[in-house]
């Protein structure tokens, strides 16, 4: 097995940003930016092309990563939920396995972190400028830019760590989360550029599902003055409004990403300088993807490709072939079992994910998953009026069921929507522009996916 083949267990440096879509990473073929530091991990390690989130929103993804469970098992359905503090999660298990554990940056799981030897976290979403952090000693404000400070703290921890133990460090950025406030030094970067627009920035949503039409994620129409940092010019509407808002939004987003990228470089440089690079497994990921103007939207939540796909780059010179690419489906609930296997531990019985350590070694088990199950629950907490849904994605198709629950912006009950289905042919239509649900040509595959969805719901014990 992967872990047993190594003479020493690897250190694990887990870097996670917030809302960084893989199509804003050059190693994933971004058309809008370059991320030279993050790309080092792809060049020197493995790129996962089909890593998916099981519930595309910040807090639930973090819960799934730590517990190895879907939202309906770990109780973290929405932004307002916390994990059961009495239950052990990834950090406890790593600590029990002899690792020194640390959590630095955006925690966003409501209660204080458990299972970490050291933690230094942002309260809630945290601030970009001069942020307050919380430790066991209490709250303290720090001068500077959040993304830099999180890495300052991570480097401080690494320098002062107990060198007799391997480390498991979670370095979690707030960036590039809304409201996309860049570091002062990058404030004017891209100012005179025109960032390429996605091909479906001006998509006519009236041709889509009711769920898509009611969602308030539209660049321009649903952007706020806080998002864009400037008032909307009077009379600007429609396509022109979107064109204008997209440039403002995407530039600030990319400016935030640039600081994340710089800071990945600082961490990798430190590992090089300290001779730790060989025996440290480094991950770069994001809690989910993001719409970068795709379908005319910002934000996440929907089970569409741009938001369920997580970037996942992993480097471990002792165990992962340089420049390799993996196309197997891995999920955020697999992270904990994987790290535990690398630490020489079995997957705890309550975890629903599966270790993909064998994929890192270049071997895909014959019975590796060919489909994934997704469920969005944030309708319970309101926000952006995204209707509740669940679905299944295979390697070629996607079936989504909006079962009819929606809430208004402030959590007030909005009128329930009629249940509806969407089905996409990911081979012919990777941008998911045409709903083929009900098309007789897809009757057979639709029936198969419905059956598979029910199988997965039973397997993960997601009953109504």
In the complex, the residues that contact Ca ion under the rule CB under 5 A are 18-19, 58, 287
Contact assessment for residue 66 and residue 47, using Cβ atoms and an 8 Å cutoff: no
CA angle 229, 233, 239 (to 5 degrees): 100
Q: Residue 282 and residue 316: Cα distance in Å, rounded?
A: 7
Q: How far is the CB of 17 from Ca ion (least distance, A)?
A: 8
CA distances from 382 to 18, 51, 385, 402, 412 (A): 20, 27, 6, 16, 7
In angstroms, give the least distance from the CB of 296 to Ca ion.
20
Q: What's the min distance (Å) between Cβ of 125 and Ca ion?
A: 10
Cβ at position 288, least distance to Ca ion in Å: 5
Q: Which is nearer to Ca ion, 56 or 345 (CB)?
A: 56
Q: Taking the alpha carbons of 176, 298, 287, 366 in that order, is the dihedral positive or negative?
A: negative
Backbone angles phi and psi of 84, in degrees to 5: -70, 115
Q: How far is the CB of 287 from Ca ion (least distance, A)?
A: 4
Cβ neighbours of residue 251 closer than 8 Å, sequence gap 6 or more: 190, 191, 193, 195
Please state at what angle helix 146-160 crosses helix 238-273, rounded to 10 degrees. Answer: 20
Q: From the CB of residue 136, how many other CB atoms can be counted at a distance below 10 Å?
A: 10
Tell me the residue number closest to Ca ion, measured at CB.
58
Can you tell me the distance from the alpha carbon of 58 to that of 288, in angstroms, rounded to the nearest whole number? 7
Judge contact between 12 and 168, C-beta under 8 A.
yes
Min dist CB 19 to Ca ion, Å, is 4
For Ca ion, the closer CB: 145 or 290? 290
Closest CB 24 distance from Ca ion, rounded Å? 13
Cα torsion 249, 49, 386, 229 to 10°: value is -10
Find the shortest distance in angstroms from Cβ 77 to Ca ion: 15
Rank residues 300 and 393 by Cβ distance to Ca ion and give the closer one: 300
Integer CA distances (angstroms), 23 to 20, 101, 120, in order: 8, 31, 30
């Amino acid at each position: 097995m992967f872990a047993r083949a190594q003479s020493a267990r690897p250190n694990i440096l887990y870097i996670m940003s917030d809302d960084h879509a893989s199509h804003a990473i050059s190693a994933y073929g971004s058309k809008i930016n370059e991320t030279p530091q993050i790309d080092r991990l792809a060049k020197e390690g493995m790129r996962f092309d089909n890593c998916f989130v099981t519930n595309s929103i910040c807090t639930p993804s973090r819960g799934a990563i730590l517990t190895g469970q879907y939202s309906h098992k770990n109780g973290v359905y929405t932004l307002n939920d916390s994990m059961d503090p009495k239950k052990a999660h990834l950090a406890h298990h790593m600590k029990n396995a002899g690792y020194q554990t640390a959590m630095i940056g955006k925690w966003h799981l409501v209660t204080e972190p458990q299972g970490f030897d050291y933690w230094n976290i942002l309260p809630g979403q945290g601030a970009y400028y001069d942020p307050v952090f919380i430790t066991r000693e209490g709250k303290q404000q720090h001068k500077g830019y959040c993304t830099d400070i999180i890495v300052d703290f991570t480097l401080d921890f690494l320098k002062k760590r107990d060198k007799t133990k391997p480390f498991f460090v979670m370095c979690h950025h707030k960036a590039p989360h809304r409201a996309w406030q860049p570091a002062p030094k990058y404030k004017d970067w891209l100012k005179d550029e025109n960032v390429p627009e996605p091909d479906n920035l001006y998509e006519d949503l009236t041709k889509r599902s009711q769920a898509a039409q009611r969602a308030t994620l539209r660049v321009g129409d649903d952007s706020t003055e806080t998002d864009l940092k400037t008032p909307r010019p009077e009379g600007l509407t429609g396509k022109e409004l979107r064109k204008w808002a997209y440039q403002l939004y995407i530039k600030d987003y990319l400016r935030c990403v640039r600081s994340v990228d710089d800071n990945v470089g600082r961490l990798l440089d430190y590992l090089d300088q300290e001779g730790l690079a060989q025996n440290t497994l480094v991950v770069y990921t994001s809690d989910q993807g993001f719409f970068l103007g795709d379908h005319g939207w910002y934000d996440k939540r929907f089970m569409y490709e741009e938001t369920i796909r997580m970037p996942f780059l992993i480097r471990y010179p002792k165990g992962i072939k340089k420049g390799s690419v993996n196309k197997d489906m891995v999920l955020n609930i697999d992270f904990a079992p994987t790290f535990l296997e690398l630490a020489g531990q079995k997957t705890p019985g309550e975890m629903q994910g599966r270790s993909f350590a064998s994929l890192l070694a270049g071997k895909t088990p014959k019975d590796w998953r060919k489909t994934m199950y997704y469920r969005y629950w944030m309708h319970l907490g309101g926000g952006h009026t995204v209707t509740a849904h669940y679905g299944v994605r295979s390697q070629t198709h996607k079936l989504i069921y909006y079962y009819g629950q929606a809430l208004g912006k402030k959590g007030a009950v909005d009128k329930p929507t009629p249940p509806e289905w969407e089905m996409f042919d990911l081979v012919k239509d990777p941008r998911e522009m045409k709903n083929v649900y009900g098309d007789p040509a897809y009757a057979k595959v639709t029936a198969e996916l419905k059956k598979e969805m029910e199988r997965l719901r039973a397997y993960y014990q997601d009953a109504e």
